[in-house]
Amino acid sequence: MKQCIISSFALAVLAVLASVSLVTPAFAVVNIGYVDVGNINNAADSSGYGAVAYNYKIAKNETTISQYTEFLNAAAKTDNYSLYSTNMSSSGGYTYAAGINRSGSSGSYSYAAVAGSGNKPVTFVSWFDAARFCNWIHNGQGAGNTETGAYTLLGAMSGIHTKNAGATVWIPSEDEWYKAAYYDATKGGAGGYWPYPTQSAYLAGHDIGVANSANYYDNGYVGYPGMTLTDVGAYGANSDSFYGTNDQGGNVWEWNDATPTGSSRGLRGGAWDSYDLASSSRYNYVPSSEIYVIGFRVASVPEPSCVALTIFASGMLMTRRKR
C-alpha cells in the first residue's frame, strides 16, 4: 500500500484544516460514524442496481434515537414541521419501538430518549424528517437551518425533492444504499453481489453471535426471543456488509431516494417484523409516512484523498514562500 508522505508544514496545514472544516464542528452534538465505499468500477448486478461511479461515505449504523433526540432539541422547539411523532413516546402504543418523550409547550418543547432506547434506530420518521435531519447536519447542527442545504424544502411536507449539488450529508440513493449493502469487491476474485448484506447467500439466524445473522422475523424459527428493535450494531461483525455497515438487513426499513411510482420513496433492508432482507426485496412508501418499522441512515462525501490534501498543502506552501 502506498504511503502518504507530507512535509511538516503541510501536516500543520492539514491539522488546521481538520480543526476548521474537515471534521464535525466543535459545537456539534451528533457524531456519525461512517464507512468508506469505493471500488468505483463495479458493475450493477443482474437487477440493475449497485453501480456507483464515485467514492462516498455511508453511516455505519442506522440513525439512532439519541441522535434524533438531539436533533429535536435543537430544531423542534416549536416543531413547525412535525419532526416529532407522538407514536415515538413511551405512551404512544408502540412500546417495542418507543424511544422519545416530549415535554413542555410549543416554543419550548424539550425531548428525552426513553431509558434504555437511545442506541436503537429511530422510527416513525418520514422521508421529510430524514431530509430535514440531513439539512441540519449539512448546516452545522446547533441552530442549523432545516429547510435548505442538502435539500430545498421551504416548508414542504409532500412531493418529490431531489438532493442539491454540493450536499455534504444526504439520504442515500438506491444505488448507494444497495452497493454498500450487497457489493463485495473480493467476491469471486473480481467482485460481485451477495444476496444478503451479511456477505452471505443465506441468513443463519437471529441470535447475536451467530454468523450471518440479523434482527428479522421468521415464523418458522423456534425460540425467537421476541419481536422488537435491537441496538444498532448489536450483531457486530456477524451482520457486517463487505464495507462494514451494520443492520442493512433487518432492524428497520430504511428510506432511500428512489421514486418507483413518481410519488413515493424507496425502502430497502427489511425490519425486525419481516424477512425481506434480500437484495431482491424492493419496496416504497408515501414519503410523508411515519411507520413503526421505518428509519434511515445517511450518506456523505468521502474524506479528502491523500493526493488532494497533498496538492492543497503544497499550494499553501507555495503561497507561504512567495510572501
Judge if 209 and 316 occupy the same domain: no
pTM: 0.87
**Residue % of the chain over a pLDDT of 90:** 73
**Residue tagged 456488509 (cell numbers):** 241
Question: What pLDDT, in 10s, does the model give residues 242-264?
Answer: 999 999 999 999 999 999 988 99
Judge if 317 and 240 occupy the same domain: no
Within-domain flag for 323: yes
Instruction: State the pLDDT at residue 220.
Output: 54
Judge if 203 and 313 occupy the same domain: no
Residue 224 clears pLDDT 70, i.e. is over it: no
The three three-digit cell numbers of residue 244, written as one number? 462494514
Task: Decide if 289 contacts 267 (C-beta within 8 A).
Answer: no
Domain assignment of residue 166, given as a range: 35-303
What distance in Å separates the CA atoms of residue 51 and residue 49, rounded to the nearest whole number?
A: 6
Residue 173 clears pLDDT 70, i.e. is over it: yes
Taking residues 89-111, report their average pLDDT: 91
Judge if 172 and 238 occupy the same domain: yes
Judge if 18 and 131 occupy the same domain: no
Judge if 97 and 123 occupy the same domain: yes
Judge if 160 and 228 occupy the same domain: yes
Domain tally, the chain: 2
Judge if 46 and 4 occupy the same domain: no
Judge if 225 and 265 occupy the same domain: yes
- Can you give the chain as a three-state secondary structure string? CCCCCCCHHHHHHHHHHHHHCCCCCCCCCCCCCEEEECCCCCCCCCCCCCCCCCCEEEECCCCEHHHHHHHHHHHCCCCCCCCCCHHHCCCCCCCCCCCEEEECCCCCCEEEECCCCCCCECCCCCHHHHHHHHHHHHCCCCCCCCCCCCCCCCCCCCCCCCCCCCCCEECCCHHHHHHHHHEECCHHHCCEECCECCCECCCCECCCCCCCECCCCCCCCCCCCCCCCCCCCCCHHHHCCCCCCCCCCCCCEEECCCCCCCCCEEEECCCCCCCCCCCCCCEEECCCCCCCCEECCCEECCCCCHHHHHHHHHHHHHHHHHC
Within-domain flag for 30: no
CA nearest to 294, candidates 259, 258, 265? 265
Judge if 13 and 148 occupy the same domain: no
**Residue tagged 434524533 (cell numbers):** 68
Judge if 8 and 108 occupy the same domain: no
Taking residues 79-107, report their average pLDDT: 92
Within-domain flag for 111: yes
CA nearest to 122, candidates 92, 97, 146, 102? 97
What distance in Å separates the CA atoms of residue 11 and residue 4, rounded to the nearest whole number?
A: 11
